[in-house]
Chain A
Amino acid sequence: MSRSDVLVDADWVEAHHGDDGVVIVEVDEDTSAYDKGHIRDAVKIDWKADLQDPVRRDFVDKAGFEALLSARGIANDDTVVLYGGNNNWFAAYAYWYFRLYGHQNVKLLDGGRKKWELESREIVTDVPRRPATSYQAAEQDASIRAFRDEVLSAIGQRNLVDVRSPDEFAGRLLAPAHLPQEQAQRGGHIPTAKNVPWSKAAEEDGTFKSDDALRALYRDEAGLDFGRDTIAYCRIGERSAHTWFVLHELLGQQNVKNYDGSWTEYGSLVGVPIEVGDGK
């Protein structure tokens, strides 16, 4: 796996968005951006309505994922290129999710919607019509998803990477600073976690930093032991999907899991250890 296997740039998308076997997908929590304008030929996936179970806190099941991709006209052998707002957080989450259900050929548009907009590239409102497919998903790949008991047993044993902002890590904020600070869970972080904010992996235009810069960030500056297994978390698992992408897909680290329960689950558990204060 190398950078060119998992990332494409805007020029590539402009040249290939209409090709047979290529599907461009915009993914976000707030899909009003798609509705106002998107990359030509892109279909949309709503992070909440399409990817989350409407009752339980969990993903849509295998049959639900198959129905979603079939309805969007995505086939098993299509190359899926994901992009979105919020510096590709939700697109990276969807990337991880596509991998979880076994889709092989999936890539991110480097820089996502932000770089595309800042470069004043074409935005259209036409919604493409794609014929339905009969998508077949695999069973969930448990090797890339962490649950709470595994996270608890990883304290002091594996790399735990908290990718939230330093103020969230320290417990001074309970959510990113673009959201109201009204949450029920306790503030702080999982003991022994290193704080490497997702934003340190990205340039200002939303593109990923170079492999060398990323390796220096996690291994040399943060002191991650690349010989150990790693679990990444944030507040709900989408910023940590961005970091999972960096560690697993760009840097080729084995045994990296995303804990999608993240702080909204951990910070609400009774009796678990919590540390507050800045990173060491």
Chain B
Amino acid sequence: MSDDGCGAPRGGAAVPAGAAGSQAIVQGRVTQNGSAVPTGYARLLNSGGDFVAEVPLGEDGGFRFFAAPGTWRLRVLAPGGVRAERSVSADIGQVTELEVAV
């Protein structure tokens, strides 16, 4: 058991070695005109629109979630009132990749 905190590192937590097969990973990158958006937030919402998790974007605009199997909404917030939203599905043993151009 870990008593480490629950904080979300920038870009999302790394995938533990050998764990990918047991996780339902949703990850990707936020870009604007082809360049990474390094300041902003990715929020995972359930299909009802309720908040599930949030990570600050990494230097490369990246984000990663460890979801449960199902369909989710991904919402991006960035400075200047930028908002974007995508639908995404997740399943155990799969890595779902998406690039969000804002």
Q: Is the CB of B8 within 8 A of A180?
A: no
- Indicate whether B95 reaches chain A with its CB closer than 8 angstroms: no
Within A166-201, the residues touching B (CB, 8 Å) are 166-167, 172-173, 175-185, 197, 199-200
Contact of A199 among B8, B41, B51, B67 (CB under 8 A): B51
- Indicate whether B5 reaches chain A with its CB closer than 8 angstroms: yes
Extra 12 A-B pairs, beta carbons < 8 Å, given A118-B79, A177-B65: A29-B4, A32-B10, A47-B5, A48-B4, A85-B8, A166-B46, A167-B46, A178-B53, A178-B64, A184-B1, A197-B51, A264-B3
B interface SS class: loop
- Indicate whether A109 reaches chain B with its CB closer than 8 angstroms: no
Q: Is the CB of A86 within 8 A of B8?
A: yes
Q: Which residues of B contact A (CB under 8 A)?
A: 1-10, 12-13, 15-16, 19, 22-23, 39-41, 43-44, 46, 50-56, 64-68, 77-80
In the complex, which residues of chain A have a beta carbon less than 8 angstroms from the beta carbon of B52? 165, 167, 176-177
Interface size, chain A (Cβ < 8 Å): 46
In the complex, which residues of chain A have a beta carbon less than 8 angstroms from the beta carbon of B41? 114, 118
Q: CA–CA, A90 to B10, complex, Å?
A: 15
Q: Is the CB of B7 within 8 A of A177?
A: no
Among A167, A179, A204, A236, the most chain B Cβ lie within 10 Å of the Cβ of: A179
B36 to chain A: closest CB distance in Å?
15
Q: Is the CB of A120 within 8 A of B5?
A: no
Q: What are 12 contact pairs spanning A and B, CB under 8 A?
A: A29-B4, A29-B5, A30-B10, A33-B10, A85-B8, A114-B41, A118-B79, A176-B52, A178-B8, A178-B53, A236-B6, A238-B6
In the A-B complex, the 4 residue pairs with the smallest Cβ-Cβ separation, listed nearest first, are A29-B7, A29-B5, A177-B53, A199-B51
Q: CA–CA, A118 to B41, complex, Å?
A: 9
Q: Is the CB of A264 within 8 A of B8?
A: no
Q: Is the CB of A172 within 8 A of B6?
A: no
Q: Is the CB of A167 within 8 A of B7?
A: no
A174 to chain B: closest CB distance in Å?
10
In the complex, which residues of chain A have a beta carbon less than 8 angstroms from the beta carbon of B13? 178-180
In the complex, which residues of chain B have a beta carbon less than 8 angstroms from the beta carbon of A94? none
Contact string, A90-111, partner B, CB cutoff 8 A, digits 1/0?
1000000000000000000000
In the complex, which residues of chain B have a beta carbon less than 8 angstroms from the beta carbon of A47? 5, 7
Contact string, A211-242, partner B, CB cutoff 8 A, digits 1/0?
00000000000000000000000111011000
In the complex, which residues of chain B have a beta carbon less than 8 angstroms from the beta carbon of A90? 5, 7
Q: Which residue of A lies closest to B77 (CB)?
A: A118
- Indicate whether A87 reaches chain B with its CB closer than 8 angstroms: yes
Contact of B6 among A33, A167, A239 (CB under 8 A): A239
A182 to chain B: closest CB distance in Å?
6
Q: Which residue of A lies closest to B69 (CB)?
A: A172
Contact of A177 among B5, B16, B22, B67 (CB under 8 A): B67
Known: A87-B54, A166-B50. A176 touches B19 (CB 8 A): no
Q: Is the CB of B7 within 8 A of A89?
A: yes
Q: Is the CB of B53 within 8 A of A238?
A: no
In the complex, which residues of chain B have a beta carbon less than 8 angstroms from the beta carbon of A238? 5-7
Q: Which residue of B lies closest to A183 (CB)?
A: B1
